[in-house]
Structure 1
Amino acid sequence: MHYSFNTRGICATRLEFDVEDGVVKNVSFFGGCDGNHKGLAALAEGMTPDEAARRLRGITCGMRKSSCPDQLAVALEEFMKNQ
């Protein structure tokens, strides 16, 4: 299942991912730091949504209260809640 999420409080404006056979795949961020997003996607892909969200939740970026990893966690939690 494909999921799109409009981020809040970070440089990236949107992120998208798929969940297939219970694991995260095809993570993409729109806007922000391309290299970090590719690394984050590579790390999150293959995890269950619950495991990825648990590991990424609460990570901050500088003085911001959130980050790209944290927003991915929020999106994954929202995805799981709506299933």
Structure 2
Amino acid sequence: MQHFDYKPHGVCPMRISFDLEGDTVHNVSFTGGCNGNLQAISRVVEGMTVDQIEGYFRGISCNGRGTSCSDQLAQGVRQALESAK
């Protein structure tokens, strides 16, 4: 299992941390942002694959920003998976 820290862009959280075991995501945590909503996202995605997270969350926009916390998570786990190859 590899640990990753991703610096999101255009959203409130300053960091998204997670572990990858192959293409499966574990232990997601956000630093900053809306604590309750981000805890919920972290629980929902536990054990999902990168493809599943992208399928559910990629492209979601928050208040017209063109991205969101969940979209940034999808981008971060994809980037981590690609860098781990």
TM-score band by shorter chain is: over 0.9
TM-score by length of 2: 0.90
Q: For residues 81 and 24 of structure 2, what CA distance do their matches in structure 1 show? A: 12
Q: Percent identity?
A: 40
Find the residue that maps to 2:10 and give its secondary structure: coil
TM-score, length-normalised on structure 1? 0.92
Query: Once the 2 structures are TM-superposed, how far is the Cα of residue 81 of structure 1 from its aligned partner?
Result: 1.4
Partner Cα distance (1:41, 1:70) in 2: 13
* Shift of residue 55, structure 1, vs aligned partner: 1.5
Aligned counterparts, 1:3-14, within 5 A: 3-14=4-15
Provide the rounded CA distance (Å) in 1 between the counterparts of 2:43 and 2:71: 16
CA–CA separation in structure 2 for the residues paired with 1:10 and 1:22: 25
Q: Structure 1: which 5+ residue stretches go unaligned? A: none
Matches within 5 A, 1:1-83: 1-20=2-21, 22-82=23-83, 83=85
SS in 1 for 2:9: coil
- Root-mean-square deviation (CA, aligned residues, Å) is 1.1
The 1:59/1:37 distance shift into structure 2, 3 A limit, reads same
* Equivalent pair of 1:50/1:76 in contact (CA under 8 Å): no
The code of the aligned residue for 1:29 comes to F
CA deviation vs aligned residue, 1:8-47 (integer Å, no higher than 9, x gap): 0000011010012542110000111000000000111111
The runs of 5 or more residues in structure 2 that have no matched partner are none
* Displacement over 2 Å in runs of 4+: none
